[in-house]
Structures are given as structure tokens and as C-alpha cells.
Amino acid sequence: MHTREQKRVLITGAAGQIGTELTIALRERLGNENVIGMGHRTKAPKELEEGPFIYGDINDLESYEKIVDEYEIDTVYHLAAILSVTGEKNPQLCYDVNLNGLYNILEVARKRDQRLFCPSSIAVFGNDEETGEVVLKPTTMYGVTKVAGELLCDYYYRKYAVDVRGIRYPGLISWKTEPGGGTTDYAVAIYYEAIRNKKYECFVRADTKLPMMYMSDAIKGTLDLMDAPLENLNQHSDYNLSSMSFTAGELAESIAKRIDGFECTYVSDNRQEIADSWPDEIDDASSRNDWNWDPAYNLERMTEDMLANLEIKLKEE
């Protein structure tokens, strides 16, 4: 079975950190009118005004089905979710959106033979209490929903042949749309504060090391996985993806090299515990082997690009 062409695409969570940039990238490929952004409560970003942008709730099955049928959607990039920090504040909402919402997306895809992209996260991992090894035993509700979501997606592939694919993204760093509700958000906020105030108070310790990735690599990975021939894939919803790992202290140093007088201080809060439960590196050999994953950015290249783009963006605000 080969990979089917995408003609009419829906992106849930289109106003979010990844959704904004993925919508732009897909519109460049398929044409503005063929890529429908779906927001929930967040206002549509200016960059998405060129094409259709509608509002919907993935937990409202009937209205979601209407949207999919009205626009004759054949592929869904399902980015709507509740992230780790918000998930710990409201575990019930996190479960509802990340699992009941995903179930709706999968059921609609099964009945209409749609292709799906459903991302996961490094949050699926946790440390085994006895051995200290990194295992699929997350301690956050977000992580629990992400592991269960991967299993649910793989079930739909095996049982119903729904072509659903997914990546375990690391913490994503970008300048177009600010992240919110995540543990890795400090790695974006630090750039904004470095430019605005030359100082940042980081909510994890300086030695906290996590896998991270620049948004343009994440978008490239997403498109490459969706383009890959189905027969090349040995996994479906749980591809590890990595490009760089650094400590909060190393991130601050890479900024201080470029912004004279920048100072970062560190005051851990409850987000430290979440960060400590995640691995500091992940092995992405299967993505490299199965669909030629090859990231372009390291920490220094990313910092150059982030600062250059944010300087312009913040001047215009």
C-alpha cells in the first residue's frame, strides 16, 4: 500500500505553537484554500488569514463531523491538545481533550478513510523507580494520555488500516507563535526576555538537560514522515525524533555570547519535577533509517536564527 496524495487537509490546534507554522508550510504545498485551520478559543494568527480558518471543538463529535464533511477533508493533522503544565493543573480536561478528543478524530478517520498525523511527545517517558532506567512510565497526566494515544493510534492502524503516523516531538523552540502550558516553554521565553530585558528567571535548574528542536526541523520532520512510503515504516505513531539536547545553563550561555550583559537566574518551581521525569536524550535511529530523518539545526545555529527573527518581530510590536 503506497502513501496516498493529500488534497484537502484539516489542522486541529491550528492557532497553536506548531499549528501556525504547519498550516503555513502545508498551504505553500497544497494551496491556501486546500488547508483548513481549525482553532478552538484562540484567535486566528494574522499569518493564517490567507486561507480558511474555522472554529471547532474536537470533543463535540457532531460539529467536528460536519466540518470534515463540509470541507471534504481527506487528511487531518491533529495538533489540538492540552500540554504538560496545564495538564497537571487540570488532569480531567487533559484526559478529555487528549484521549476522548483523539478517539473522535480516529473514529471519523476510520469511517471516512482519512489519513492522520497525531503527534506524541518525549513526555511519554519516565524513570523506573527501581533501576532509574528511562521507560514508558510517565508520571504526568499529559504523558499518560500521550502513551495511551500512541497505543490507540497503532490499534486503529492494525485493526482498521487507518494510515495514522506520529512523532514524539522534543521541546520545540520557535519565534512565530509563543508556546503555552508546557514544561519546555522556558527555552522560548528566555529569548524574548533576553531581547526585552537582558535578564531571565528560569523555572528549572541550570543543569536541567532536555531534548529540544527548532521549529523548522520539526515541520520538516512532520512533512517527511507524512510523505514517506507506508511500506518503509516499521513504526507508526511513536517515532522518536531528536536533534539537540542542552542544559538550561548552556542555552543561557549561547544567548549571552550574542547579547552583551544578558543574565539568567534559576528558581525552580513545580515544573522542575516534570522536567526531571523526562529523558535528557533520545535515540531516533528508527526515524533516520525508515524515513531519512536528518535535522539541520544545532544550538548555536538556532540561537542565531531565533535572535535575528525575534529582534525584528519585537520591534514591530
Q: How far, CA to CA in Å, does 85 sit from each of 40, 76, 178, 271, 315?
A: 19, 26, 15, 7, 30
Cell numbers linked to 215: 521549529
Q: Which does 277 bind (CB under 5 to 8 A by kind): ligand AKB, ligand NAD, none?
A: none
Catalytic, out of 64, 77, 95, 142: 142
Binds ligand NAD by CB under 6 A, chosen from 180, 285, 292, 314: 180
Using CB under 6 A as the criterion, what x/- string covers residues 82-101 for binding ligand NAD?
-x-------------x---x
Determine, following the binding rule CB under 6 A, whether residue 79 of this chain makes contact with ligand NAD: yes
Residue whose beta carbon is closest to ligand AKB: 182
The region of 129-137, 177-185, 257-265, 269-277 touching ligand NAD under the rule CB under 6 A is 177-185
Chain contacts with ligand AKB (rule: CB under 6 A): 83-84, 121-123, 142, 171, 182-184
- Tell me how far apart the 2 most distant CA atoms of the chain are, in Å: 58
Determine, following the binding rule CB under 6 A, whether residue 279 of this chain makes contact with ligand NAD: no
Nearer to ligand NAD (CB atom), residue 97 or residue 116: 97
The residue type of 53 is: F
The residue type of 219 is: I
Binds ligand NAD by CB under 6 A, chosen from 104, 114, 184, 222: 184
Question: Is residue 142 flagged as an active site residue?
Answer: yes
**Minimum distance of ligand NAD from residue 139's CB (angstroms):** 16
* Contact between residue 8 and residue 71 where contact means Cβ atoms under 8 Å apart: yes
Q: Which does 84 bind (CB under 5 to 8 A by kind): ligand NAD, ligand AKB, none?
A: ligand AKB
Q: Which does 183 bind (CB under 5 to 8 A by kind): ligand AKB, ligand NAD, none?
A: ligand AKB
The backbone torsions φ and ψ at residue 261, rounded to the nearest 5 degrees and listed phi first, read 85, 0
Q: Which does 101 bind (CB under 5 to 8 A by kind): ligand AKB, ligand NAD, none?
A: ligand NAD
Determine, following the binding rule CB under 6 A, whether residue 306 of this chain makes contact with ligand NAD: no
Tally of CB atoms within 10 A around 244:
21
The region of 3-11, 171-179, 234-242, 307-315 touching ligand NAD under the rule CB under 6 A is 171-179
The residue type of 141 is: M
Residues 219-248 that bind ligand NAD (CB under 6 A): none
Determine, following the binding rule CB under 6 A, whether residue 126 of this chain makes contact with ligand NAD: no
The residue type of 69 is: D
* Contact between residue 214 and residue 269 where contact means Cβ atoms under 8 Å apart: no
Residue 108 C-alpha from the chain's centroid: 22
Kindly state the helix (H) or strand (E) to which residue 275 belongs, with its residue range. helix 271-277
Cell numbers linked to 260: 552583551
**Binding footprint of ligand NAD, residue count (CB under 6 A):** 29
CA distance 253 to 116: 39
Nearest to 105 by CA among 158, 54, 68: 68
- Provide the annotated active-site residues: 142
